[in-house]
């Protein structure tokens, strides 16, 4: 297929994925087609069915069961997901589709023929991750502990050889951003 390969961005909650994606949007608007199946940062035109229209959720569930979605998740009773065809469309338009998914999403995508570049964003340490999540002020103590536990598992799995093409440790934000940009520039030069 023509066009730049999609890029999967993964990493534990609090590692800095949204921060880096915002910087990309700020600097390269129109170059990327973001696909973020998380309720609070959902960017159209990707498939989302957070609406109240009856029947749409069921229709999407049928499509998910049929395997047309490369990743999906449910938040607060709404379904979010990214279909293979929407990623293909972004690619056909010459844009880099960035998929922000968790480690399970990475596993699922590996079962498909999408063939993206896998980039992991990692925090410098668990202590720093905890501090960033606390300072972000978005979590209750309970959800924070859950995220930290998930982060421990994520960091272990992400370091296994062959899972990611590149690991970026987000210590200094500007440095991490430079690294991410260089991966994306490479992707855009080696078109399909």
Ligand X SMILES: Nc1ncnc2c1ncn2[C@@H]1O[C@H](COP(=O)(O)OP(=O)(O)OP(=O)(O)O)[C@@H](O)[C@H]1O
Which residue lies nearer to ligand X by CB, 105 or 116? Answer: 105
Which residue lies nearer to ligand X by CB, 91 or 133? Answer: 133
The binder of ligand X chosen from 59, 126, 153, 173 (CB under 6 A) = 173
Site mask, ligand X, residues 117-156, x = CB under 6 A? ---------------x---x--------------------
Which residue lies nearer to ligand X by CB, 47 or 102? Answer: 102
14 lies in the binding site for ligand X (CB under 6 A)? yes
- Site residues (CB under 6 A) for ligand X, limited to 38-77: none
What's the CA gap between 65 and 81, in Å, rounded?
A: 12
Which residue lies nearer to ligand X by CB, 21 or 117? Answer: 21
**Which residues contact ligand X by CB under 6 A?**
11, 13-19, 132, 136, 170, 173
């Amino acid at each position: 297929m023509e066009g730049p390969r999609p890029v999967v961005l993964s990493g534990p909650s609090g590692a800095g994925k949204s921060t880096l994606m915002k910087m990309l949007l700020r600097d390269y608007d129109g170059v990327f087609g973001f696909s973020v199946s998380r309720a609070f940062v959902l960017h159209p035109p990707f498939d989302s069915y957070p609406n109240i229209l009856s029947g749409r959720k069921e229709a999407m569930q049928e499509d998910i069961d049929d395997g047309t979605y490369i990743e999906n998740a449910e938040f607060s009773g709404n379904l979010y997901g990214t279909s293979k065809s929407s990623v293909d469309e972004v690619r056909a338009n010459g844009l880099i589709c960035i998929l922000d998914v968790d480690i399970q999403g990475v596993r699922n995508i590996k079962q498909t023929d999408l063939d993206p570049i896998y980039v992991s964003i990692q925090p410098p340490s668990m202590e720093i991750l905890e501090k960033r999540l606390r300072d972000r002020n978005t979590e209750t103590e309970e959800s924070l502990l859950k995220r930290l536990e998930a982060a421990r598992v994520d960091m272990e799995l992400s370091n296994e050889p062959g899972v990611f093409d590149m690991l970026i440790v987000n210590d200094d934000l500007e440095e991490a951003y430079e690294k991410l940009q260089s991966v994306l520039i490479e992707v855009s030069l080696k078109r399909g």
